């Protein structure tokens, strides 16, 4: 499956609530993750998405509209 | 093939006029939202804390009432005209309701904004819920009354168009979009009876000084008689677009016309007899009536769950038409490049989260945990603030080109805009929900309290503040991107087909749905009976306890000019 730049943008956006709620999820099990863990998770997630995009990128669309 | 503006130029002008008012309100309301977010969190305070409530009222009224309802009036006009394939019966009537609603909204806005200017003895810092004992300047209530009557005239305009169509098509099923408009308006006529009675018979005479006292619980109850169904009045335009436009944008067709009709009938039946669930903590209403309101509210989850199923099924159908495969990977085949599609899809996702937090609000026992806390604005920024607002903005990217004959200035900016809104709202609403769980109050400029710490289950209050401030800033940036994109689109050259405006037939069409669904008289009668059952005894009890006019003198909100008098009145009310 090819990934468009728009798909990349939406995937990145979806990573933010996942990262935020990760702390809540862990807190259910009594594990209190520090805030920095969100930053680290988000950075790793962005790296993963970037790698996937580079492997599956669609050709660029030249149109402005 | 000509687009809407070519076929119905006069109606397109009416729709454009409503959208101009809508988007202007959006811009001002969003600016006020940014000011609040930065003030409350302490990052930027340039307002006197008293003026915070002027900004808060302006934010609520301009966004929740003016932006949404003017957009609705434009969208419904477009929907009726294009689905009946005929112009409105009398364009003068259309301009009359545009004029009346615009004048009413302007009066209300002037009354609110005058509160920022101390030399003008006028204020309406009563928040968008505007029930007693807070008293606004009479201009505010007069404006609201004109606005409501204007919406009634708009509904009459659409019903007249339907009547003309019906005379020529006696055996046809009501076109789906018109069916949605008519059922929504029937719900609106029923719901606005409460606020109309409250405004015309109690608040206006009281604010002019013709009567000296008011019964606050009665005006609260009449407000919430209207105040919950107004949520669905905002939401139904979003549903109309999710059902009839989103499947097309996804590349497919609506999964089921009959299910869509059932959903709108259910909203007509169930939207109004639930308002008391906003009053779980009000004394003076028996617990049993509150329990009934809670039960009715839980039934309202059904049409939303039906919508989730139908809309997602329609999107999946679209994705598979575009080559999507697998259980999940079909999502990748959706047209994420299209800001209209992406915005509506993200709005739908956020609405699901808002629905879950709404269940907490609706539950009579767990509501006590979050009542009047930040949780509540966290919830409605997901529902009206995203499901509705983001769908309206995203839908504009598809609708406005039909009204102007000009293409959108920039789809990439549009895409960035809807994604920035999503991210901003995730940060802000998440922080608000978490803050609410910690007991941080809503509707206050000074939530910090001295010598007191909120006990957070997770993280810190500082994180909550940062989430609100960053999220609020992103939301404002998103609105600026939207307005700039729409404004620049006005300078594009007209072209023949600025957007593909055709709407495909549903997979399961109207012919497969029971004819009784189109019996609007029947559903209206049942809705009236349900309202009578839900409200007669509570209202009789409230009037029996304190009388129609009560014994509360009211608290004018001319706070700056009348601080001492207001304090005296407050002391009297509390005593």
Which residue in B37, B174, B129, B5 sits closest to B468, CA to CA? B37
Give the pLDDT score at A57.
75
Find the CB nearest B430 among A7, A10, A20: A20
Kindly state the percentage of chain B with pLDDT values over 90.
Answer: 89
- Whether residue B562 is predicted with pLDDT greater than 80 in this model: the reply is no
Q: B75, B240 in Cβ contact below 8 A?
A: yes
B195 φ, ψ to 5°? -75, -30
- Whether residue B402 is predicted with pLDDT greater than 90 in this model: the reply is yes
Q: Which residue of B lies nearest to A17 if distances are taken between CA atoms?
A: B426
C-alpha to C-alpha distance for B303 and B566, rounded to whole angstroms: 45
DSSP H/E element including B556? strand B555-556
The token pair at B459 is 């993280």
Give the pLDDT score at B404.
97
Give the pLDDT score at A64.
43
Kindly state the percentage of chain B with pLDDT values over 70.
Answer: 96
C-alpha to C-alpha distance for B98 and B28, rounded to whole angstroms: 20
Find the CB nearest B415 among A1, A6, A16: A6
- Asked if B336 has any chain A CB less than 8 Å from its own CB, the reply is yes
Q: Which residues of B touch A5 (CB under 8 A)?
A: 337
C-alpha to C-alpha distance for B158 and B94, rounded to whole angstroms: 9
The token pair at B416 is 């960035």
A32 φ, ψ to 5°? -95, 100
Question: Quick one: how far is CA B298 from the chain centroid?
Answer: 20
B232 is an active site residue: yes
C-alpha to C-alpha distance for B488 and B417, rounded to whole angstroms: 15
C-alpha to C-alpha distance for B61 and B199, rounded to whole angstroms: 15
Is B337 close to A16, i.e. CB distance below 8 A? no
The predicted-structure confidence for A22-54, as pLDDT tens digits, reads as follows: 888 888 888 888 888 888 999 999 999 889 888
Question: Other C-beta atoms within 10 Å of B536: how many?
Answer: 10
Model confidence band, residue B401 (pLDDT cutoffs 50, 70, 90) = very high
The predicted-structure confidence for B442-498, as pLDDT tens digits, reads as follows: 988 877 667 778 888 888 899 899 999 999 999 999 999 999 999 999 999 999 889
Å between B411 CA and nearest CA of chain A = 5
The predicted-structure confidence for B330-360, as pLDDT tens digits, reads as follows: 998 999 999 999 999 999 999 999 999 999 9
Beta bridge partners of B494: B406
Catalytic residue among B59, B228, B317, B434: B228
Question: Other C-beta atoms within 10 Å of B163: how many?
Answer: 10
Give the pLDDT score at A59.
67
The predicted-structure confidence for B106-121, as pLDDT tens digits, reads as follows: 999 999 999 999 899 8
- Whose tokens are 């990934």? That residue is A3
Catalytic residue among B220, B379, B433, B434: B379
B443 is an active site residue: yes
Q: Which residue of A lies nearest to B498 if distances are taken between CA atoms?
A: A65
The predicted-structure confidence for B211-225, as pLDDT tens digits, reads as follows: 999 999 999 999 999
Q: DSSP of B458-496, one letter per residue?
A: SS-HHHHHHHHHHHHHHHHHHHHHHHHHHHHHTTSPB-S
Å between A13 CA and nearest CA of chain B = 6
Is A1 close to B333, i.e. CB distance below 8 A? yes
Mean pLDDT, rounded, for B140-158: 98
- Whether residue A65 is predicted with pLDDT greater than 50 in this model: the reply is no
Mean pLDDT, rounded, for B180-201: 97
C-alpha to C-alpha distance for B267 and B228, rounded to whole angstroms: 11
Give the pLDDT score at B551.
84
B342 φ, ψ to 5°? -60, -40
Q: Which residues of B touch A17 (CB under 8 A)?
A: 426, 430
Q: How far is CA B447 from CA B17, B374, B468, in A?
A: 40, 10, 13
Å between B236 CA and nearest CA of chain A = 26
Give the pLDDT score at B139.
97
Give the pLDDT score at B264.
97
Chain mean pLDDT for chain B: 94
C-alpha to C-alpha distance for B463 and B120, rounded to whole angstroms: 39
Give the pLDDT score at A62.
43
- Whether residue B203 is predicted with pLDDT greater than 50 in this model: the reply is yes
Alpha helices in B41-137 (DSSP H): 49-60, 68-84, 91-113
C-alpha to C-alpha distance for B143 and B123, rounded to whole angstroms: 13
Model confidence band, residue A5 (pLDDT cutoffs 50, 70, 90) = confident
B535 is an active site residue: no
- Whose tokens are 């989850």? That residue is B301
- Asked if B492 has any chain A CB less than 8 Å from its own CB, the reply is no
Cis peptide preceding B133, ω within 30 of 0: yes
Give the pLDDT score at A52.
86
Is A23 close to B463, i.e. CB distance below 8 A? no
Mean pLDDT, rounded, for B31-39: 97
Model confidence band, residue B1 (pLDDT cutoffs 50, 70, 90) = low
- Whether residue B187 is predicted with pLDDT greater than 70 in this model: the reply is yes
Å between B337 CA and nearest CA of chain A = 5
- Asked if B328 has any chain A CB less than 8 Å from its own CB, the reply is no
The string over B131-140, giving b where at least 16 C-beta atoms fall within 10 Å of a residue's C-beta and e elsewhere, is bbbbbbbbbb
> Alpha-carbon torsion B224, B225, B229, B234, what sign?
negative
Q: Which residues of B touch A32 (CB under 8 A)?
A: 458
Model confidence band, residue A63 (pLDDT cutoffs 50, 70, 90) = very low
pTM: 0.94
């Amino acid at each position: 499956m090819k990934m468009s730049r728009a798909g990349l943008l939406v995937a990145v956006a979806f990573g933010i609530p996942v990262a935020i709620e990760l702390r809540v999820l862990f807190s259910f099990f009594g594990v209190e993750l520090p805030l920095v863990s969100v930053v680290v998770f988000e950075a790793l997630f962005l790296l993963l998405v970037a790698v996937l995009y580079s492997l599956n990128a669609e050709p660029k669309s030249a149109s402005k509209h | 093939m000509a687009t809407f503006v070519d076929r119905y130029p006069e109606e397109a002008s009416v729709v454009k006029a409503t959208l101009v008012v809508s988007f202007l309100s959006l811009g001002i309301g969003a600016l006020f939202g940014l000011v609040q977010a930065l003030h409350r969190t302490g990052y930027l305070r340039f307002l006197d804390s008293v003026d915070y409530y002027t900004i808060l009222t302006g934010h609520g009224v301009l966004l929740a009432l003016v932006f949404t309802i003017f957009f609705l009036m434009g969208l419904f006009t477009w929907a009726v005209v294009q689905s009946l394939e005929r112009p409105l019966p009398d364009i003068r009537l259309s301009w009359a309701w545009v004029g009346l609603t615009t004048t009413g909204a302007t009066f209300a806005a002037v009354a609110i904004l005058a509160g920022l200017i101390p030399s003008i003895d006028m204020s309406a810092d009563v928040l968008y819920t505007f029930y007693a004992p807070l008293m606004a300047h009479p201009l505010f209530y007069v404006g609201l009354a004109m606005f409501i009557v204007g919406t009634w005239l708009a509904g009459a305009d659409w019903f007249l168009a339907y009547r003309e169509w019906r005379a020529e098509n006696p055996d046809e099923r009501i076109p789906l979009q018109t069916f949605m408009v008519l059922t929504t308006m029937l719900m609106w006529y029923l719901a606005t009876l409460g606020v109309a009675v409250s405004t015309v018979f109690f608040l206006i005479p009281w604010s002019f000084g013709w009567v000296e006292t008011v019964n606050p619980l009665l005006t609260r109850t009449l407000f919430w008689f209207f105040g919950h169904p107004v949520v669905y009045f905002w939401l139904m335009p979003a549903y109309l677009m999710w059902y009839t436009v989103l499947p097309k944008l996804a590349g497919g067709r609506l999964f089921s016309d009959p299910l869509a009709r059932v959903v709108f009938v259910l909203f007509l039946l169930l939207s109004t007899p639930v308002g008391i669930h906003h009053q779980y903590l009000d004394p003076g209403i028996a617990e049993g009536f509150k329990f009934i309101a809670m039960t009715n509210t839980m039934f309202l989850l059904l049409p939303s769950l039906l919508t989730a199923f139908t809309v997602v099924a329609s999107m999946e159908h679209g994705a598979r038409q575009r080559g999507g495969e697998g259980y999940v990977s079909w999502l990748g085949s959706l047209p994420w490049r299209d800001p209209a599609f992406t915005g509506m899809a993200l709005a739908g996702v956020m609405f699901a989260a808002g629905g879950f937090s709404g269940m907490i609000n609706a539950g009579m026992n767990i509501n006590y945990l979050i009542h009047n806390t930040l949780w509540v604005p966290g919830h409605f920024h997901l529902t009206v603030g995203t499901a509705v607002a983001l769908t309206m903005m995203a839908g504009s990217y598809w609708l406005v080109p039909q009204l102007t004959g000009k293409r959108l200035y920039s789809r990439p900016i549009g895409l960035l805009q809807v994604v920035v809104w999503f991210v901003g709202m995730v940060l802000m609403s998440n922080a608000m929900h978490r803050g609410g769980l910690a007991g941080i109050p809503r509707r206050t400029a000074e939530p910090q309290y001295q010598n007191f710490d909120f006990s957070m289950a997770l993280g810190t209050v500082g994180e909550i503040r940062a989430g609100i401030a960053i999220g609020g800033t992103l939301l404002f940036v998103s609105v600026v991107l939207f307005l700039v994109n729409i404004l620049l689109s006005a300078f594009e050259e007209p072209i023949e087909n600025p957007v593909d405006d055709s709407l495909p037939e549903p997979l399961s069409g109207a012919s497969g749905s029971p004819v009784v669904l189109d019996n609007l008289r029947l559903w209206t009668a049942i809705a009236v009976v349900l309202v009578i059952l839900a409200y007669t005894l509570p209202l009789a009890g409230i009037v029996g306890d304190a009388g129609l006019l009560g014994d509360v003198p009211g608290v004018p909100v001319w706070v700056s000019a009348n601080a001492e008098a207001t304090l005296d009145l407050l002391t009297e009310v509390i005593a």
